[in-house]
Amino acid sequence: MDTAAVKKTYRHISADLHERKVLSAIKRLKLLIAESGKEYFTDQLDRHSTTYENILIHSFSAAKDPEREKVYFFLVRNLLEMGDELQESILTEKDTGNVFPLKRQLERSRRIERKEALAYLESLTYDIELAKILEGVNIDKEGAMLSREEALVKVFNIIWLSDKYSESEMELLNAACESEKLPWHDKSLIVSALTLSLLRFFDLNKFNLLFAFVKTREEFVWQRALIGLFFGFLKYNDRFYLYPMLKEQTLELLEFPNIEKNIEAILIQFTKTRETESVSRKWKEDILPQMMKLRPKIEDKLDLENIFKDEFGEDKNPDWETVFEDAPDLLDKLQEFTEMQMEGMDVFMSAFSQLKNFPFFNKISNWFVPFYHDNQSIQPYLKGSGDGVDLTPLVKKLEQTHFMCNSDKYSFCINLGMIPEQQKNMMMNMASAEMDSVSEIEKGDELINEFAKIKSIYTQYFQDLYRFYKLHPWRKEFDDVFDMEPDVFENPFFGNLLKDSHTIRNIAEFYFDKKFYPYALKIFLSLIERDRSNIELFEKIAFCYENTGDFEKALDYYKRADIIESGRLWIIKKLALCSKYLNNWEDALMYYREAEKQAPEDLKIQANIGQCLIHLEEYEEALEYYFKVEVLAPENEKIRRPLAWCSFLIDKLDTARDYLERLLQADPGNTHDLLNLGHVCWCMNDDEMALEYYTMSLQQAKNISSFENSFLEDRKHLIRKGIPSFDIDLMLEYLKMKATKKN
């Protein structure tokens, strides 16, 4: 069984257990036990199998066990954790990447590594309580001590690559959490190691430690720990119900100051780091093409949807633009300043992506170490030889700013320290002046509050994580945390902490603004149950459904909004749009005529009426509407296409030919225009030119089948024009013969 098969089997085991298919999970666990070669798992599994058999037997006996559910959940926990251990054991032996060999190396030298790392922690956190904990640890006091940086790397790796922590390790880490002597930046690094370790391997103790670091409320540390919990509960959302302690610890956070505000900020900052374009890409590349397959071929032929080139559908309701006025904290100066970095336009990400190859970043821990000016790792870069430029004053300023993440600050300093001395002074002065300007922004009225600083810590830490998961050379070996979905109402961690409807609405509005419509939709649907008179909620629910391709539900909610306040132009146009995409052309025409009464000069409405009339085969009236658009927008060449088609169908063949020839002057390779001109020529008894245009159309088509489908789609129109059915079949055969011979 290769590593991919091991991971697949493990995923099936997890799914089986959560779906209450324990027998199937046990069967798959036996496969992993055989693959691991560790027979002691067999005895454990046999005991669990016996327990499950008893649960099944007693479930349907006369005497019901009141503890049945508790025993069942405990069994599922044990089986899940056995699956965790088996997968990890097999991958540790088999995987040939970088992480597992590092883990194997650490396990071989674990005793020595642990001794050195604990010695460092002891030296920094030593107090009466910790002395008792370390009393039994045998450390060679006379031996050469590790450098501070080396010790931190070892501490980080031990925490990160340990599957489960021993009791003594838990005591030491708890002591480190509570220590007043351990610097905040070392605690922050421990928190990052804990987070990576939890994401790598589930352990309840890791959750408990992160909760502990949050509860200390030590600045720069608890924010990272809360983000660690955020990611932990995203990944292990499906295990929450199995560990009552997790719920207890989560509910205790309700006593934490501004916890809802913090969760809101984390959700928003996390969302900003993700590629919002992927949502619109899914719409354009997946949902819309599938939907368009259901549309009549006439849409492709005449390109009716793109006569006025703009984004799909109608714009958002302009009345929504004031949505954030009651939530100014979402638009503070700091977020405005970092918006390009946090969204798809990540200027710093692009600029610094090439500066992550310095030896400093060879150690994974250095991707997470907070920036502080006296970090010994960067001291060699701060002072030039002899009377060289001293970068220390600049670095101290850099430490105080929030506009650049920690990882990029280290890249910046190392890069600046390596440039020639003559350029260094100029660069330092420019950077110093820029940072002074930034500091003024950060000290502005809108940033003189504690929460703005907290948000800046979230922002920087998310950026550090983003760079690690997107740029690290080993990134393919990690599950990218930014691929996880922050479903607020299906995640009990969020559900237990987010109670205030105003906060929940803010999150929904943010998702909506960033086009994360599926997430926004779920929240809006929950809110509508509390306020069924809010027309804006109905509109936004409809808009979400529309942008996820569910036009039937979109239409339903637009109708509900129209009941609350009927006759609004924007809603009428939306009703028309949804009807159109459901191929309800009569309803669409009715709504567009209603919209026309309010906006008689709106050319898009005129064109849409024409489109409906074409589908309803009211070609003469459709022609009138398209003529009106042509007169008012003569520069719009695309309007000639439906004009040509309608002219052809009502026997204005000269007019149709003129429009098509003008279209082909601008786009000589358009297969549909060539086909239509062939039809016109044939109906004008110009068989030779018809054949020529048909041949060119076939050459431009994707394939013979595509051309044949388009040709046969128009068969009924040719017959109505007097072309014999026999001749149509022969023409198509002749064209296919010519194409085959040519190839």
Q: What is the pLDDT of residues 455-466, one digit of tens each?
A: 889 989 999 999
- Give 361-367's long-range contacts (Cβ < 8 A, gap of 24+): 361/410, 361/472, 363/153, 364/156, 364/157, 364/160, 364/468, 364/472, 364/474, 365/152, 365/153, 365/156, 365/157, 365/189, 365/192, 365/193, 366/410, 367/407, 367/464, 367/467, 367/468, 367/472
Helix axes 450-471, 259-273, angle to 10 degrees: 40
Q: What is the 3-state secondary structure (H, E, C) of 433-491?
A: HHHHHHHHHHCCHHHCCHHHHHHHHHHHHHHHHHHHHHHCCCHHHCCCHHHCCCCHHHC
For residues 296 and 300, give the distance between their C-alpha atoms in angstroms, rounded to a whole number.
8
For residues 130 and 176, give the distance between their C-alpha atoms in angstroms, rounded to a whole number.
8
Question: Domain range spanning residue 738?
Answer: 651-743
| 742 pLDDT higher than 60 | yes
- Within this chain, do residues 419 and 452 fall inside the same structural domain, yes or no? yes
- Within this chain, do residues 476 and 436 fall inside the same structural domain, yes or no? yes
For residues 395 and 373, give the distance between their C-alpha atoms in angstroms, rounded to a whole number.
6
- Within this chain, do residues 368 and 430 fall inside the same structural domain, yes or no? yes
- Within this chain, do residues 82 and 160 fall inside the same structural domain, yes or no? no
| 533 pLDDT higher than 60 | yes
Domain count, the chain: 4
Burial class (CB in 10 A: 0-12, 13-18, 19+), 677: buried
- Does some domain include residue 70? yes
Average pLDDT over residues 702-725: 93
Give me the pLDDT at residue 342, please. 41
Q: What is the per-residue DSSP string for 326-385?
A: G-GGGG-HHHHHHHHHHSS--HHHHHHGGG--SGGGGSGGGGTPPP-TT-GGGHHHHB-S
Give me the pLDDT at residue 519, please. 87
> Which residues, other chains included, contact 631 with Cβ-Cβ below 8 Å and sequence gap of 6+?
none
Residue 515 pLDDT class (50, 70, 90 cuts): confident
Q: What pairs with residue 390 in β-bridges?
A: 383
The gap from C-alpha 95 to its chain's centroid, in whole angstroms, comes to 28
Kindly state the tokens that stand for 164: 């489960």
Tell me, yes or no, if the pTM score tops 0.75: yes
Provide the mean pLDDT of the chain.
Answer: 85
- Does some domain include residue 561? no
541-551 pLDDT tens trace: 999 999 999 99
Give me the pLDDT at residue 341, please. 43
Q: Which of 617, 611, 691 is nearest to 626 (CA)?
A: 611
CB 534 within 8 A of CB 528: yes
Q: Which of 436, 437, 456 is nearest to 448 (CA)?
A: 456
145-176 pLDDT tens trace: 456 777 788 889 989 999 999 887 888 899 89
- Does some domain include residue 629? no
Q: Within 10 A of 532 (CB to CB), how many other CB atoms are there?
A: 10
Kindly state the tokens that stand for 386: 């002899």
- Within this chain, do residues 340 and 453 fall inside the same structural domain, yes or no? yes
- Does some domain include residue 403? yes
Q: Of all helices (H) and strands (E), which one includes residue 87?
A: helix 68-94
Give me the pLDDT at residue 142, please. 40
Kindly state the tokens that stand for 292: 């368009």
- Within this chain, do residues 147 and 209 fall inside the same structural domain, yes or no? yes
- Does some domain include residue 18? yes
For residues 726 and 735, give the distance between their C-alpha atoms in angstroms, rounded to a whole number.
14
Least confident of 121-135, 217-231, 235-249, 287-301: 121-135
Residue 295 pLDDT class (50, 70, 90 cuts): low
Burial class (CB in 10 A: 0-12, 13-18, 19+), 202: buried
Q: What is the CATH number of the domain that holds 726?
A: 1.25.40.10
For residues 233 and 270, give the distance between their C-alpha atoms in angstroms, rounded to a whole number.
14
- Within this chain, do residues 389 and 469 fall inside the same structural domain, yes or no? yes
Give the CA distances from residue 120 to residues 106, 123, 148, in Å, rounded to whole numbers and listed in that order: 17, 5, 7
- Does some domain include residue 51? yes
For residues 355 and 602, give the distance between their C-alpha atoms in angstroms, rounded to a whole number.
53
For residues 132 and 135, give the distance between their C-alpha atoms in angstroms, rounded to a whole number.
5
- Within this chain, do residues 72 and 133 fall inside the same structural domain, yes or no? no
Among residues 197, 223, 256, which one ends one of the domains?
256
- Within this chain, do residues 655 and 715 fall inside the same structural domain, yes or no? yes
- Within this chain, do residues 131 and 242 fall inside the same structural domain, yes or no? yes
- Within this chain, do residues 478 and 337 fall inside the same structural domain, yes or no? yes
- Within this chain, do residues 213 and 192 fall inside the same structural domain, yes or no? yes
For residues 130 and 174, give the distance between their C-alpha atoms in angstroms, rounded to a whole number.
10
Q: pLDDT: is 369 or 413 the higher one? A: 369
